[in-house]
């Protein structure tokens, strides 16, 4: 563990950071409530402390969980006079880091990174000696797919799929372009994968599924367009605002289509967003002395990066970050974050400590830090996430009983 006055170990309790609530106020607790309500196996986490209208889980014939990638609570709370906002019951925390690559595996397994073992878009797997982009399941260098005949994401995680935890029929509705991905296949378990194309098709398939079923069932659906637009144009853009209005109409029409079907519809997100700019991007290429201290490329996210530092260069690394970036970065010992419970409760995944590096760079305000490998395109995202701000960490719980 790094030991230096440069490393702000006390920052694990920084009052400006939003820590995941694993004791009753987070998405991990939502999944526990769903599992318990469906008579499933215990996830190891308590259910939601506030019912948020979830009492109906124990009785409703159909339970739908729709995850809208990137729809943060702070964003939604500013959308006055919308149907989605009117049905928002609770503010939950996401997992850590606040990113799709850690939260979506949580929805698919029911447990956070402490147990499922994925720590960011780019995760270093020491057992492979390789950095992998987890969700597309590709090697970072060249983005060549990992041979699923040799290794699957499920083997790197070891967590039981959520769909195998519950004793009811389940379906997994995902966009057709990712429905047969190695990651989806690895965590679908006994769930039936249902591809769809566009919002209208998603609504049609959800209504068809609940109308056809006579026994209890659980339907998990994922929508990613909000996230894609927020990355490209910024969460405060007109493009995202227009898409949100489309989502709100979709939700209203879905409520109409589900009326009388004995369905509990839950909507949440994997993270929120904060807008940044290239002027706020610290590029590792501009800091060769810092880059020279690293044994592995930067991992994690632009808003929260994991650093694997050569033992002989820890002092240089700490001094450089402390002197050059004292206003942009909080430098934290990665093991302290693990010990403080940022990744979850209970016994950690056996590989977790090796997947979070020696140090964590927690970006302040709306700063980013990025590094590039040969052939990689520069990160041009305006909307970003992964950090510990309110905008990124808080997600809504939207509830409708149909």
pLDDT, tens digit, for every residue of 173-208? 999 999 999 999 999 999 999 999 999 999 999 999
Same-domain pairing of 256 and 347: no
What would the two tokens of residue 16 be? 């400006």
Residues 366 and 285 in one domain: yes
127 in a domain, yes or no? no
> What pLDDT, on the 0 to 100 scale, is given for residue 140?
94
pLDDT at 354 over 90: yes
The band of 82, judged by pLDDT with boundaries at 50, 70 and 90, is very high
- Kindly state whether residues 369 and 394 are assigned to the same domain: no
Return the CATH number at 163.
3.40.720.10
Residues 6+ apart with CB under 8 A from 237: 229, 230, 382
Distance in angstroms (rounded) separating the CA atoms of residues 342 and 199? 34
Q: Which domain holds residue 240?
A: 27-114+147-272+390-401
- Which of 207, 217, 161, 188 shows the shortest CA–CA distance to 37? 217
Identify which has the larger pLDDT, 57 or 22: 22
Average pLDDT score, the chain: 94
In the chain, % of residues over pLDDT 70: 96
**pTM > 0.75: yes or no:** yes
Where residue 212 falls among pLDDT bands split at 50, 70, 90?
confident
Q: What is the spatial distance between Cα 308 and Cα 306, in angstroms, rounded to a whole number?
A: 7
Give the span between the Cα atoms of 239 and 245, in whole angstroms. 10
- Note whether 382 and 233 are within 8 A (CB): yes
The pLDDT value given to residue 7: 54
Provide the pLDDT for residue 103: 98
Assess contact for 159 and 115: CB atoms under 8 A. Answer: yes
If you average pLDDT over residues 140-153, what whole number do you get?
Answer: 90
Question: How many independent structural domains does the chain possess?
Answer: 2
Strands 263-268 and 62-68: parallel
State how far the Cα of 309 lies from the Cα of 318, in Å rounded to an integer. Answer: 10
Claim to verify: residue 373 and residue 263 sit in the same structural domain: no
CB within 8 Å of 204: residues ≥ 6 apart: none
- The per-residue pLDDT for 317 is 98
| Same domain membership, residue 230 and residue 366 | no
Q: Is 162 exposed, middle or buried (0-12, 13-18, 19+ CB in 10 A)?
A: buried
Same domain, 70 and 180: yes
Of the listed ranges 3-12, 217-226, 278-287, the least confidently predicted one is 3-12
* Same domain membership, residue 314 and residue 169: no
Mean pLDDT calculated for residue range 269-290: 97
pLDDT given for residue 9 in this prediction: 54
């Amino acid at each position: 563990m790094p030991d230096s006055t440069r490393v702000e170990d006390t920052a694990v309790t920084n009052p400006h950071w939003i820590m995941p609530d694993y004791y009753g106020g987070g998405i991990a607790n939502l999944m526990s409530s769903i599992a318990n309500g469906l008579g499933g196996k215990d996830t190891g986490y308590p259910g939601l402390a506030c019912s948020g209208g979830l009492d109906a889980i124990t009785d409703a014939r159909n339970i739908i969980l729709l995850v809208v990638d990137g729809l943060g609570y702070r964003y939604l709370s500013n959308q006055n006079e919308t149907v989605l906002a009117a049905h928002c019951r609770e503010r939950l925390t996401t997992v850590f880091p606040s990113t799709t690559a850690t939260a979506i595996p949580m929805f698919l397994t029911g447990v956070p990174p402490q147990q499922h073992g994925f720590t960011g878009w780019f995760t270093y797997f020491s057992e492979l000696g390789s950095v992998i982009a987890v969700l597309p399941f590709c090697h970072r260098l060249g983005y060549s797919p990992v041979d699923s005949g040799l290794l699957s994401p499920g083997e790197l995680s070891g967590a039981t799929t959520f769909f195998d935890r519950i004793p009811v029929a389940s379906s997994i509705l995902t966009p057709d372009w990712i429905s047969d991905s190695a990651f989806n296949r690895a965590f679908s378990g006994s769930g039936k994968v249902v591809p769809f194309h566009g919002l209208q098709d998603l609504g049609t398939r959800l209504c068809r599924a609940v109308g056809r079923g006579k026994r209890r069932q659980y339907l998990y659906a994922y929508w990613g367009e909000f996230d894609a637009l927020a990355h490209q144009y910024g969460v405060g853009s007109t493009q995202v605002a227009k898409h949100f209005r489309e989502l709100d109409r979709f939700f209203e029409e879905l409520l109409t289509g589900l009326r009388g079907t004995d369905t509990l519809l839950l909507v949440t997100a994997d993270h929120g967003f904060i807008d940044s700019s290239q002027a706020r991007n610290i590029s590792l290429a501009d800091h060769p002395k810092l880059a020279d201290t690293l044994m592995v490329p930067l991992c994690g996210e632009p808003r929260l990066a994991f650093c694997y530092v050569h033992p002989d260069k820890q002092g240089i690394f700490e001094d450089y970050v402390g002197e050059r970036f004292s206003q942009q970065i909080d430098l934290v010992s990665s093991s302290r974050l693990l010990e403080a419970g940022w990744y979850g409760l209970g016994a950690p995944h056996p590989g977790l400590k090796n997947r979070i590096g020696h140090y964590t760079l927690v970006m302040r305000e709306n700063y980013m830090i990025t590094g590039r490998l040969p052939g990689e395109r520069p990160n041009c995202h305006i909307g970003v996430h992964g950090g510990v701000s309110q905008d990124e960490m808080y997600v809504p719980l939207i509830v409708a009983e149909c």
